[in-house]
């Protein structure tokens, strides 16, 4: 008799993951857990969810290097504009 190994099958592994979607999925899961917990009052749920969203927003906006880059680009553009206006006026 001829014994052949069974094929292993096809396993597709994800090569690309969207980190934003993963974070949103985790946030939704946590929110559903908070809402489903009967021991937590409505006001406590509201406070917990607002704190979670607030902490996420505050950490995204704070980046000193980003602000410094913006100021440098704006100063450079203003300087180029002033030089161009002086050149045109002469």
How does pLDDT run across 49-70, given as a tens digit for each residue?
788 777 665 555 667 788 889 9
**DSSP character string of the chain:** ----PPP----PPP----HHHHHHHHHHHHHHHHHH-TTS-HHHHHHHHHHHHHHHHHHHH--HHHHHHHHHHHHHHHHHHHHHHHHHH-
pTM reported for the whole predicted model: 0.35
Residue 31 above 60 pLDDT?
A: yes
């Amino acid at each position: 008799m001829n014994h052949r190994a069974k094929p292993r099958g096809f396993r597709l592994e994800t090569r690309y993951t969207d980190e934003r979607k993963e974070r949103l999925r985790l946030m939704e899961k946590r929110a559903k857990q908070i809402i489903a917990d009967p021991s937590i009052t409505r006001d406590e749920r509201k406070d917990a969810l607002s704190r979670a969203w607030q902490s996420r927003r505050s950490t995204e906006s704070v980046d000193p290097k980003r602000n410094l880059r913006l100021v440098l680009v704006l100063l450079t553009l203003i300087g180029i504009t002033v030089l161009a206006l002086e050149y045109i006026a002469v």
